[in-house]
Chains A and B, each alone.
Chain A
Amino acid sequence: MDLTVAGYMKELSEHRIAASRCNDCDALYLPPRPICPNCQTRKMSVERLSGEGTVAGLTSISIVPSAMAAKGYGRKNPYVTGVVALKEGPSLTARIELPDDGGEIQSRVGMPVTASFEAEVDGDETRVTLVFQPS
């Protein structure tokens, strides 16, 4: 794969979470990147991650951006998004689906979650986003 934003998105569209590992210092990066900030090397290998992790921080958004308003989200229908620490080490930002049991948002920190791939067709384009579910 190309170590570009488009390369990562293409992997997602094929239901894979791609990361890059530095061949010199072994650090693992998500999204995959071409230059290691740790040792400046450009020798990177691509690895695929499991999609299993825990919630590091999250929020339920009521005042929504226009793209989410167009999908019917808003004050009466908020959505949840957050930061997930994957078991391999790196973390990523993604939407999270929570059980609707009235728990306080901060009580979900640490919850184990698993990635699913959500395809959205917009004209000729299909965009795949990651959405995490409770494990």
Chain B
Amino acid sequence: MPKQKKRKLGRGVAIVGGAMSYFGMYPDKTSRDLMAEAYTDALETVDKGIDPRDIEALYIGNFTADLFEGQGHLGHIMADWLGLAPRPATRVEGACASSGLAFREAVMAVASGMYDVVLAGGVERMTNAPTENVQDYLAAASDVPFEVDQAAFTFPGLYAAMGTAYMARYGTTREHLMHVAVKNHQNGALNPRAQFNSSLRDIMEQRKKRAEEKGRPIPTWGDEFDFLSDDSVNPAVAEPLHLFDCSPVTDGASCIIVAAEEVAREYTDDLVTVAASAQASAGPFTTWGGDITGIPSARIAGRDAYEMAGVGPEDIDFAEVHDCFTTAEIMAIEDLGFFEPGKGAFGSAEGLTSRDSDRPINVSGGLKSKGHPVGATGVAQLQEVWTQLRGRAGDRQITHKDLRLGLTHNVGGTGGTSAIHILERK
């Protein structure tokens, strides 16, 4: 463990605007089209309005437009398309944590005093690639010579292997994982920009209705768990993970505008500031000392974030965590200290992470239901937490408790990169 240095921002940084595009399948939209949607919507969210020329620099999270659409060098494309060239634009890559890192770079650029107003964005266009290619491209985020060339791992496979280690150690089953999917789909049903804007109950009823309309035998599923246990509608992807344990392949973009706290009141009187920004790296599984039931870099980034904010896990009112797979959410809520190791699966099944619980997890629907355009996810999580903290999340607004501190947990690969932020309402 490296020696701990107490870290802090050089000056306060606030979020003054933010939006995500509609997440889903948009065959006619390239990365720049998606980014323009998120950006123009983000400008609209600035309470007192903003002159786009106030934006001094851009940090754009993107995993691999290179592979998905043959487009590298994405920073300048976005600066130009958003009308912001010649302002400096930097693409930031950390697999599925790309825009968590982009946000962090934007925050540090403002905190350093270099700029007062900076844009942090994220984007990924994924659905135009065939499924096998998507597996290949995502697998580029792992340790390729060893995990892919030697072991033929896919990304779901890596999180599935962690899942089996967890299940074997703590005696949990696939049903525990199903609770995460059911909860996040219920949340996503309240999010109009989510890719799956419906609960699993609704999806199940639609399938029954469709069977009836086509004169086929009507399936006898009694509830969501029956539905998820039926391999004909929920086939294996990488055991124990089935289709509905996996976040979807998604097109989408996200955008946040940050400003130095000392100028932020020019844009809004409803301030949300960055209480902590932490990031950690790790090697692949084989460097984790034999334990793959949690993600070491997330634990370290979480610890650093709590220390920077001067709070503990018990102080966090709600969180958006990186549920790329159901197994990932269970590990996340343990790595962040919300549950003891081995208790996250049981807590999820007991409803302790639901939207009406003491600490709601993924009220946006999470990656699972909202969608996971990998490079856009980190900033989309931050945008959700910012929106909830300001009480402007519409039907999905958390209303049963006061919100002061929200956390985002954004993981690249299987924890090669973790970025954790804590936002605070002033």
Binding site for B on A (CB under 8 A): 5, 9, 30-31, 37, 56-69, 75, 78-79, 81-83, 85, 89-95, 104-110, 127, 129-130
For window 247-270 of B, CB contacts with A under 8 Å fall at none
Q: A residues within 8 A CB of B135?
A: 63-66
Q: Which residue of B lies closest to A96 (CB)?
A: B151
Q: A residues within 8 A CB of B136?
A: 65-67
For window 138-164 of B, CB contacts with A under 8 Å fall at 139, 145-154, 156-157, 160-164
Whether B154 and A106, one on each chain, are in contact in the complex, defined by CB atoms closer than 8 angstroms, is no
Q: Which residue of B lies closest to A109 (CB)?
A: B168
How many Å from the CB of B35 to the closest CB on chain A? 29
Tell me, yes or no, whether B235 is within 8 Å of chain A by CB.
yes
Q: Which listed residue (B149, B151, B235, B286) contacts A30, Cβ 8 A?
A: B286
Q: A residues within 8 A CB of B239?
A: 59-60, 62, 78, 105
Whether A81 and B153, one on each chain, are in contact in the complex, defined by CB atoms closer than 8 angstroms, is yes
> Per DSSP, are chain B's interface residues mostly helix, strand or loop, or mixed?
helix
Q: B residues within 8 A CB of A109?
A: 164-165, 167-169
Tell me, yes or no, whether B132 is within 8 Å of chain A by CB.
yes
Q: A63-B131, A63-B238 are in contact. Are A94 and B151 (CB under 8 A)?
A: yes
Whether A56 and B165, one on each chain, are in contact in the complex, defined by CB atoms closer than 8 angstroms, is yes
Whether A90 and B286, one on each chain, are in contact in the complex, defined by CB atoms closer than 8 angstroms, is yes
Whether B237 and A62, one on each chain, are in contact in the complex, defined by CB atoms closer than 8 angstroms, is yes
Q: B residues within 8 A CB of A95?
A: 151-152
Can you list 13 pairs linking A and B with CB atoms under 8 Å apart?
A37-B287, A57-B161, A57-B164, A59-B164, A60-B236, A61-B160, A63-B135, A65-B135, A93-B151, A105-B164, A106-B167, A107-B168, A109-B168
Whether A59 and B157, one on each chain, are in contact in the complex, defined by CB atoms closer than 8 angstroms, is yes
Q: Which residue of B lies closest to A67 (CB)?
A: B152
Q: A residues within 8 A CB of B145?
A: 5, 9
Q: A residues within 8 A CB of B164?
A: 57-59, 82, 105-106, 108-109
Q: Which residue of B lies closest to A94 (CB)?
A: B151
Whether A81 and B133, one on each chain, are in contact in the complex, defined by CB atoms closer than 8 angstroms, is no
Whether B165 and A69, one on each chain, are in contact in the complex, defined by CB atoms closer than 8 angstroms, is no
Q: B residues within 8 A CB of A130?
A: 150
Tell me, yes or no, whether B284 is within 8 Å of chain A by CB.
yes
Interface size of B by Cβ–Cβ distance < 8 Å?
41
Q: Which residue of A lies closest to B288 (CB)?
A: A91
Give 6 A-B pairs besides A56-B290, A59-B163 with Cβ atoms closer than 8 angstroms: A61-B153, A61-B157, A64-B154, A66-B132, A83-B165, A104-B240
- How far apart are the CA atoms of A129 and B145 in the complex, in Å? 11
Q: B residues within 8 A CB of A63?
A: 131, 135, 154, 156, 237-238
Q: A59-B239, A63-B237, A91-B285 are in contact. Are A106 and B157 (CB under 8 A)?
A: no
Q: A residues within 8 A CB of B160?
A: 59, 61, 105
Tell me, yes or no, whether B305 is within 8 Å of chain A by CB.
no
How many Å from the CB of A45 to the closest CB on chain B? 19
Q: Which residue of A lies closest to B172 (CB)?
A: A106
Tell me, yes or no, whether B292 is within 8 Å of chain A by CB.
yes
Q: A79-B152, A109-B164 are in contact. Are A93 and B286 (CB under 8 A)?
A: yes
Q: B residues within 8 A CB of A104?
A: 240
- How far apart are the CA atoms of A81 and B151 in the complex, in Å? 6
By CB atoms of chain B within 10 A, which of A60, A78, A90, A106 has the most? A106
- How far apart are the CA atoms of A75 and B239 in the complex, in Å? 12
B156-190 contact mask (Cβ, 8 Å, vs A): 1 or 0: 11001111110111000000000000000000000
Q: Which residue of A lies closest to B142 (CB)?
A: A93
How many Å from the CB of B419 to the closest CB on chain A? 21
Q: A residues within 8 A CB of B165?
A: 56-57, 83, 109
By CB atoms of chain A within 10 A, which of B146, B151, B292 has the most? B151
Whether B131 and A61, one on each chain, are in contact in the complex, defined by CB atoms closer than 8 angstroms, is no
Q: Which residue of A lies closest to B290 (CB)?
A: A85
- How far apart are the CA atoms of A13 and B9 in the complex, in Å? 51
Q: A residues within 8 A CB of B156?
A: 59, 61, 63
Whether B150 and A129, one on each chain, are in contact in the complex, defined by CB atoms closer than 8 angstroms, is yes
By CB atoms of chain B within 10 A, which of A37, A63, A94 has the most? A63
Q: A residues within 8 A CB of B284?
A: 93
Query: Ordered nearest first, which 6 A-B pairs have the shortest CB separation?
Result: A109-B168, A57-B165, A59-B160, A57-B161, A93-B151, A106-B167
- How far apart are the CA atoms of A91 and B157 in the complex, in Å? 17
- How far apart are the CA atoms of A91 and B133 in the complex, in Å? 28
How many Å from the CB of B323 to the closest CB on chain A? 18
Whether B285 and A83, one on each chain, are in contact in the complex, defined by CB atoms closer than 8 angstroms, is yes
- How far apart are the CA atoms of A101 and B160 in the complex, in Å? 20
By CB atoms of chain A within 10 A, which of B136, B147, B160 has the most? B160
